[in-house]
Amino acid sequence: MRDIYIYNTLSRKKELFKPVTPGHVGLYVCGPTVYGDPHLGHARPGITYDVLVRLFRHLGYKVRYVRNITDVGHLENDSDSGEDKIAKKARIEELEPMEIAQEYTIRYHDAMRKLNVAPPSIEPRASGHIIEQISLVEKILKAGYAYVSNGSVYFDVKAYDKDHKYGILSGRVLDEMISNTRELDGQGDKHSPYDFALWKKAAPEHIMKWPSPWSEGFPGWHLECSAMSEKYLGSQFDIHGGGMDLLFPHHECEFAQNMASRGTSGVNYWMHNNMITIKGQKMGKSLGNFITLNELFSGANSVLKQAYSPMTVRFFILQAHYRGTLDFSNEALQASEKGLRRIMQAQKDSSRLTADTNAPDNPEMDSIVEKIYEALCDDLNTPVALSYIFDAVKIVNSAKDRQISLNAKDIEKLNTVFTDILGGILGICDEENGDGHQGVVDSLVNMVLEVRKKAKENKDWTTSDRIRDELKQSGILIKDTKEGTEWSFE
């Protein structure tokens, strides 16, 4: 297997990936809190970790990809007070919280499918893992890193910091955090403002609550990921991913919970994708620049000059390295749309090139495939990989214009670039013909044309004309030329 290097947020450097179990990858990614339409911010982690999973699988690893659904415990402003995001939406829309969670889970799945993001292997819900979360709280209490206060349970950050140092993952130092912040009023049941809730006692009117040793209540937001990643991937697994916005406090708290409950951080490589900005600004409802994915696909948002197809969005996201910021603008999206069109045309053209047995090996083609793999295995460098794919596009265009000729080996390499890498790993496929079925359509049409060629050789004009007419009825036009038969969609 090829070596893969991953930038580890914990060590702040690129590291050679060494799996816990040879040939296997355990990956956990924080999924959405399902209380609103999926938006531009959901597309980047969805696509980034999809490419990571596709790359590992392509290289022969068996991947268990766990991406959770947060349907309880995520409070407004990511804090320990305030209303549950899902309960609030349910109250406004006069629905059951589970109706909200169901509705927005479906919309999230739908948007991911359009973006050609493959579903995870396991998609656990926080509300389905209350028992595991209660048992985790019990372990942390027993270890002395939590306290019960008025029916709620809080993680004792100061006690934990003495033994393990709090803030290692995000690079924060507790003493500095304390000296930089004045003690906030209204900490309520907490001993310190840095403590965070493991279990919250529910107010009487709160709908989503469960019995526990401490109160009728609900788990703290950070707890679910510690509980569910351990359950499905084991106490020490390979990779934990998520957006940079989750690094603190969410992942820092997860790290501390893992350490406090099982004595290990739980994760070998922490990966964080950077954010998408809009004209340099963070996207937010209050800033009036909030774009949902459906608006992006339909153009129905005043920020948008036009609709952008899901594949254009995917291509746009992969044109930047996942750790860099990515600024959204109509101009950038329009440029991506153009670039994507060029690549897809080259993909079609390359499948119709005929080999010249006398052509020498193309020196450029020789190194392109290797360079693309190197880029992808170097911390998922998709922009560099795409720049080599554009080199392959140039070769296809020269061959098409008959400026150069390619032998069968070169054409095979083009096939690797446009089918295995572009379609298989980067997940970029032709939208005109649905979800990546272009290759199937191509080979079926080519097969039918082969039968027609035989019929013509046998002067069986009835069959050859029938094939031409029936293809036309299916929307496929054929044209006989000196070189053979060309075809295109009507």
Which residues bind to Zn ion, rule: CB under 5 A? Answer: 30, 225
**Closer of 30 and 239 to Zn ion (Cβ):** 30
Q: CB nearer to Zn ion: give 223 or 291.
A: 223
CB of 240 to Zn ion, least distance (A): 8
Count CB neighbours of 219 within 10 A: 26
Select from 104, 126, 113 the least CA-distant residue to 46.
113
Q: In angstroms, give the least distance from the CB of 225 to Zn ion.
A: 3
Q: Indicate left, alpha or beta for 144 from its phi (over 0: left) and psi (-120 to 50: alpha).
A: left
| CA atoms of 362 and 337, how far apart (whole Å) | 29
Q: Which is nearer to Zn ion, 241 or 424 (CB)?
A: 241
Block residue for tokens 């969670």: 101
Distance CA 178, CA 184 (A): 11
List the structure tokens of 289. 């620049």
Cα distance between residue 126 and residue 123, in whole Å: 10
Which residue in 478, 481, 360 sits closest to 410, CA to CA? 360
Two structure tokens written together for 410: 């070169």
User: With respect to Zn ion, which residue has the nearer C-beta, 30 or 365?
Assistant: 30
Cβ nearer to Zn ion, comparing 215 with 226: 226
Quote the least distance from Cβ 488 to Zn ion, whole Å: 47
Give the nearest distance from C-beta 368 to Zn ion in angstroms: 38
Smallest gap from Cβ 249 to Zn ion, in A, equals 11
Please report, for residues 83, 282, 291, 355, the alpha-carbon distance to residue 287 in angstroms, rounded to integers and kept in the order given. 22, 8, 11, 56
Q: What is the largest CA-CA distance in the chain?
A: 92
**What's the rounded Cα separation, in Å, for the pair 372 and 384?**
7
- Contact present, 96 and 90 (Cβ < 8 Å): yes
List beta partners, residue 21.
Answer: none
Q: Cβ of residue 251: shortest distance to Zn ion, in angstroms?
A: 7
- CA R_g for the chain: 27
Q: What single-letter amino acid sits at 230?
A: E
- Comparing CA positions, the residue from 458, 454, 446, 459 lying closest to residue 485 is 446
Q: Smallest gap, in angstroms, from Cβ of residue 31 to Zn ion?
A: 8
Nearer to Zn ion, 69 or 225 (CB): 225
Closest to Zn ion by CB, 70 vs 382, is 70
Cβ proximity of 385 and 372 under 8 Å? yes
| Minimum distance, C-beta of residue 278 to Zn ion, in the bound complex (Å) | 25
Give min distance, CB of 101 to Zn ion, in A: 16
* Cα–Cα distance measured from residue 268 to residue 240, given in angstroms and rounded to the nearest whole number: 8
Nearer to Zn ion (CB atom), residue 30 or residue 197: 30
Q: Taking a C-beta distance cutoff of 8 angstroms, is the pair 380, 372 a contact?
A: no
Nearer to Zn ion, 87 or 225 (CB): 225
Contact 295, 305 (CB under 8 A): no
Nearer to Zn ion, 254 or 295 (CB): 254
Phi/psi at 156 (5° precision): -90, 90
Smallest distance, Å, CB 30 to Zn ion?
A: 3
